[in-house]
């Protein structure tokens, strides 16, 4: 049987289309298999990572215990008081006592607005204008630094001038104490609290 040109063209074009379709089918059939192999390898790696993490569970539990213990120790260094006003009044009293112990005269003191630092921590600053000599100022600042509760000197400016052959120092200092926020205290008291 002899084919004419037109029939040969149809057969060649049909063969080319069939070959392309077969090629596309093979590529699409093998490509997901290749992707699934890569996916399986990735999943194996993830599984190994999870197994290692589970194997080091004791290490993580120990670290969590250490962090909780340190958090409790650090919480003891916070100021007592349920509200910022109560804690601020307590801080002011402490600073007045430290100033009196070191011979520093406080001419003015002012509790400034509290500032929320993190989700659970509030900074309570107290600004004071004082009169003293440099040695007394150093002793006062050392007493503040060594106080059992966490106190920080946020701002310090010193003006010094001479009065009758004597130098008078007038420092302005802002000292802050810290308390837990009310939400954190409520979470601690709740049976499912985080601490």
Range with the lowest mean pLDDT among 9-13, 96-100, 121-125, 170-174?
9-13
Please state the rounded mean pLDDT for residues 15-38. 76
Q: What is the mean pLDDT of the chain?
A: 82
CA-CA distance, 153 to 90, in Å (whole number)? 17
pLDDT over 90 (residue 35): no
Please state the rounded mean pLDDT for residues 118-131. 87
**Residue closest to 114 by CA, chosen among 145, 83, 76:** 83
Q: At the fourth CATH level, which superfamily is domain 84-185?
A: Ribosomal protein S6/Translation elongation factor EF1B (3.30.70.60)
Q: Identify the pLDDT of residue 189.
A: 56
DSSP conformation letters of 23-67: HHHHHHHHHHHHHHHHHHHHHHHHHHHHHHHHHTHHHHHHHHHHH
pLDDT over 90 (residue 191): no
pLDDT over 90 (residue 127): yes
**Residue closest to 81 by CA, chosen among 125, 124, 143:** 124
Q: Identify the pLDDT of residue 59.
A: 84
pLDDT over 70 (residue 170): yes
Please state the rounded mean pLDDT for residues 28-38. 66
Please state the rounded mean pLDDT for residues 162-168. 76
CA-CA distance, 154 to 152, in Å (whole number)? 6
Token pair in block for residue 195: 């601490």
pLDDT over 60 (residue 184): no
Cross-strand pairs, 123: 115, 178
CB-side exposure of 39: number of CA atoms within 13 Å?
6
pLDDT grade, residue 7 (50/70/90)?
confident
């Amino acid at each position: 049987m002899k084919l004419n040109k037109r029939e040969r063209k149809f057969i060649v074009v049909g063969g080319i289309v069939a070959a392309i379709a077969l090629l596309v089918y093979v590529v699409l059939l093998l490509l997901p298999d290749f992707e699934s192999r890569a996916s399986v390898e990735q999943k194996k790696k993830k599984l190994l990572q999870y197994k290692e993490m589970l194997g080091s569970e004791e290490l993580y539990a120990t670290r969590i215990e250490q962090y909780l213990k340190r958090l409790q120790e650090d919480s003891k260094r916070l100021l007592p008081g349920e509200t910022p006003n109560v804690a601020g009044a307590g801080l002011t009293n402490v600073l007045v006592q430290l100033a009196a112990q070191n011979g520093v005269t406080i001419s003015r003191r002012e509790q400034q607005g509290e500032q929320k630092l993190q989700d659970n921590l509030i900074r309570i600053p107290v600004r004071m204008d004082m009169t003293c000599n440099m040695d007394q100022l150093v002793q006062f600042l050392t007493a503040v630094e060594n106080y059992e509760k966490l106190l920080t000197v946020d701002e310090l400016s010193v003006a010094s001038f001479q009065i009758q052959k004597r130098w008078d120092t007038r420092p302005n200092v802002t000292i802050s104490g810290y308390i837990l926020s009310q939400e954190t205290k409520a979470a601690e008291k709740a049976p499912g609290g985080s601490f």
